[in-house]
Structure 1
Amino acid sequence: MLEMIIKQLLNGLTVGSVYALIALGYTMVYGIIKLINFAHGDIYMIGAFLGLIAATVIMKNFVVVLVFAMMGCAILGVLVEKVAYKPLRNSSRISALISAIGASIIISNTVVLINGPQREAYPKLFPNITYNLGGISISLLQVFIIVISIVLMYGLYYIVHNTKMGIAMRAVSQNLNAARLMGINPDKIISFTFALGSSLAAAAGVLVGTYYTAIDPMMGLLFGLKAFVAAVLGGIGSIPGAMFGGIVLGLAEVLGVAFISPSFRDAIAFGILIFILIVKPTGLFGSTAKEKV
């Protein structure tokens, strides 16, 4: 029984690390411009497909695949912000929300139009190596996903807290107009935020494709919504909250599947969303603030 629990905890950490990477994009964009980027899940999907293209056309090397996908999605994130969000920055929240949903539909349907709706097999970027520690099987891929996720999350934390761009991001999130008066270009910072969040989503897409060995054009919908739940759980706008929320959601989902029922997988995530909105709407790490309508 103990071995099974430890194994499921490891599975939960693996899935939760991916949720955390995607959730960071949601929480950063919201922290800067108070917008929920519902196209973020589809950018994660694009990252998986860019990784597939890189592995097929360029080189079947994980580093090459990861860098190619992250760079491609960083550019896509900036493009989406310029086309779908920037013109509506001073409009009502509902206008920006509708635009975000429209951008999501356009991206996913474009992939279906180009590639078709079928699932695509993902190339093996890691050897199937499994370690047995005290009767507990641990795959090299699981360890690598967790380690890569931690490295990327630490990299984001370092950028936000120890670089000029990070200081500017925090200034814009506090008060956009005051930041502009201090000589900061908000447009540049917002674009950088979208690029940074989209690159992390791309990394998550490559990791998921490698882990599950298959991807499809609709994979961004459910994963994106669950990552949004993770961001809300941790406190939308809080980077540590997004990390923590992703891990908690992954553990809750995997343990629920193992000890309750596999058919309950998706209900767990959205049950957590309903519960946190009722009990603590600001999330575990969030703070109360008035929002303009």
Structure 2
Amino acid sequence: MNLNFEFFFNNLPSLTVTGLAFGAIYALIALGYTMVYGVLQLINFAHSEVFMYGTFAMLWTVMALGGAQADGIKLVAILLAALVAAMAMSAVIALLLERVAYRPLIKRNAPRLIALISAIGASFVLAEIMGLRDRIAEWVGLDDTLSAYVGKARINNSMAGVIDAPRWDLGFMTLSSIDLIVIVAAIGMMILLDQFVRRSRLGKGIRATAQDPETAALMGVNPTRTIQITFLIGGLMAGVAAFLYMLKIETTIYDVGFLLGVKAFTAAVLGGIGNLRGALLGGLVLGVAENWGQAIIGSEWRDVIAFVLLVLILLVRPTGILGESLGKARA
């Protein structure tokens, strides 16, 4: 293994900014894991597919509105429409998950292990539906009409070339406007969500349900509605993450959520699962660490670095960086 410290130090600023951009995406996805865990005390492993559907919603919206031929104000309008589409798609999938995969089990007081298995099953089902969309369209006779959207069902789908993002030469590094947008947007969404949970009536209901569901119900908090809102918020955050991911990477595939979902879960645990601010911090730390690490020892080690970091931090601080314990995590 050749350690490339010279490359690392020569490109430290740009490596840090790029790492923060990836970490911001991890953090936004991690918020969904954190919200659901805080209320239901279970890990929604299907949340990665909620994110994946958002990436396709953005891609298809840009395609439908002719984003490849647009520029200026028209391109901005198309991207705003794509953001709304990604958030709406992810929110709908998240609510569908809650209704089909979780609510029946919650009503029957099923063990959490059963709910976890249901989440894993739902994750595979959602991914395979997207991976077989060409077959589904063929079954209903719409394969020709929707060929642009259902084609390449199991290979990469790209919107490369749609966005010509400006870059600024700062002397010591070249800063991409996309990286800046991703970082600022993630921090802004985190602040909005944190204030919503802390100050709004709905947010207080979520916190009350997370702390003591029985007492919250006695005080008039509707647990079913609270869980729905929690999944809805997680879906909206995943939609924003999907939009930012497509801005930066420009490519998606039916199983894109798997590895990103695992890393987002890692970020949530790293920061202290159940802690909203911990999700942001964990995501940023993870993104920077793996980007620094791959610069030193090679890009093929990127994913290894992320999970080794998780193990090392949990050995020193099992409750995560901000100290939330898994058994007492709160939204």
TM-score normalized by the length of structure 1: 0.95
Deviations 1:155-185 (A, max 9, x none): 2112111211111111111001111011110
Q: What runs of 5+ residues in structure 1 fail to find an aligned partner?
A: none
Deviations 1:89-135 (A, max 9, x none): 22112111100000000000000010410110125554331100123
1:15 and 2:5 correspond: no
Q: Residues 64 and 290 from structure 1, CA distance in 2 versus in 1: closer, same or farther, beyond 3 angstroms?
A: closer
Aligned to 1:110: 129
Deviations 1:140-168 (A, max 9, x none): 11111111112211221121112111111
Secondary structure at 1:131's aligned position in 2? strand
Does the Cα contact within 8 Å between 1:48 and 1:209 map onto a contact in 2? yes
Aligned to 2:247: 210
Does the Cα contact within 8 Å between 2:273 and 2:326 map onto a contact in 1? no
Q: 313, 318, 321: which is aligned to 1:281?
A: 318
CA distance in 2, matches of 1:125, 1:169: 40
Paired positions, count: 291
Aligned to 1:77: 94
Aligned to 2:224: 187
Deviations 1:232-253 (A, max 9, x none): 0011101011110000000001
Q: 163, 173, 177: which is aligned to 1:136?
A: 173
CA distance in 2, matches of 1:57, 1:276: 45
1:66 and 2:83 correspond: yes
Secondary structure at 2:122's aligned position in 1? helix
Deviations 1:6-50 (A, max 9, x none): 110001111010000001110110001101000011111100001
Aligned to 2:115: 96
CA distance in 2, matches of 1:288, 1:49: 35
Aligned to 1:26: 33
Q: 67, 77, 86: which is aligned to 2:103?
A: 86
CA distance in 2, matches of 1:243, 1:148: 12
Give the 4+ runs in structure 1 shifted more than 4 A: none
Does the Cα contact within 8 Å between 2:36 and 2:44 map onto a contact in 1? yes
Does the Cα contact within 8 Å between 2:32 and 2:233 map onto a contact in 1? yes
CA distance in 2, matches of 1:124, 1:268: 31
Letter in 1 for 2:127: S
Does the Cα contact within 8 Å between 2:24 and 2:183 map onto a contact in 1? yes
Letter in 2 for 1:92: P
1:275: Cα distance to partner?
Answer: 2.4
1:266: Cα distance to partner?
Answer: 0.6
Give me the CA root mean square deviation: 1.6
CA distance in 1, matches of 2:326, 2:55: 36
Q: What runs of 5+ residues in structure 2 fail to find an aligned partner?
A: 1-5, 68-77, 134-149
Which structure has the larger Rg?
A: 2
Secondary structure at 1:138's aligned position in 2? strand
CA distance in 1, matches of 2:255, 2:126: 10
